[in-house]
Copies of this chain bind each other. A is one copy, B any other.
């Protein structure tokens, strides 16, 4: 099997994963450089991480709407410097490794279905995967196929309006992401006078709640109420057979995952509640999904009918 590089390019942290045959060879988590020059800095981080290894292909997650045919980013709310760019083309140029871009929620969902939480539910063929990070990503996988939508823009559960709420980064009001997106939680806690140090993350907020900070407890209570409401909306509209909740914030089991599930169950009326399970790959789901995308693109590019199978990611963006 080929050596594959997965890059989960997050709004706060990026994860690098070198894998062969579904087994991690090496992995690292590094702060994301933001703004102009960010991709060049990322390429430098990757170069140091590889330390001379030569993966056959790379996959990179994009938090936003991606034109997977061209690899161009249409819009990224949390990484706006990517708008209109071709990050894989740039990384390929900088690193000399051909690759493929994949929307971040799609990557995490694919990994959880193929390698993670959903493996224990192989009989269920209708799965919704929610990833809680700086942004909120969703993915619906039916009969093993990711529902990409008509413009490859499906899954934006974070930008469904669920209440009045504040202005979201996307320009709307009352989005789920404005209630439970990592950056939004930190911003709210700072506004409420909570002591987040520079560079603090939502993890610090969870730690403060665990230490008894009532403002932090109240903020997380509000966030999980919003998440429960969104989950009920997804259940009403899609009726999935399984929901997997992952991402960095979901790892705060007692403060995020458990209350959100409890509120979903308590709030259900006519709903057919599916099992709601935590992701198994933790914060590494996106990076695993990126390696799966890299491997699929590699096998597509090596097949005579390359690119004609719409169940595969788009063909690899070559050197």
Contacts and interface: CB of A to CB of B under 8 A. Distances in A.
Interface of A: 65, 75, 77, 124, 126, 138, 142, 147-157, 159-164, 170-172, 174, 229, 232-234, 236-242, 267, 269-272, 274
B236 A156 contact: yes
A232 B149 contact: no
Given A149-B241, A156-B237, A160-B232, 4 more contacts: A151-B241, A155-B237, A170-B270, A237-B238
Contact of A150 (B126, B153, B162, B267): B126
Contacts of A236: 156-157, 159-160
A144 to B, nearest CB: 14
A229 B155 CA distance: 16
A157 to B, nearest CB: 6
B162 A239 contact: no
* Interface residue SS majority, chain A: loop
B232 A234 contact: no
A267 B159 CA distance: 12
Given A232-B172, A270-B159, A238 B147 contact: yes
B171 A239 contact: no
A155 B270 CA distance: 13
9 contacts: A77-B270, A126-B149, A126-B150, A149-B240, A150-B242, A155-B237, A155-B239, A161-B229, A171-B269
A244 to B, nearest CB: 14
Contact of A65 (B161, B164, B172, B272): B272
B150 A65 contact: no
Contacts of A142: 147
Contacts of A267: 172
Nearest to A138: B237
A240 B150 CA distance: 5
A254 to B, nearest CB: 25
Given A126-B149, A147-B142, A172-B232, A157 B237 contact: yes
A124 B170 CA distance: 27
B237 A160 contact: yes
A174 B65 CA distance: 29
B161 A164 contact: no
Please give me the 9 A-B residue pairs with the lowest Cβ-Cβ distance, nearest first: A149-B239, A150-B241, A171-B269, A151-B272, A160-B233, A156-B236, A154-B239, A153-B239, A126-B150
Contact of A161 (B147, B232, B241): B232
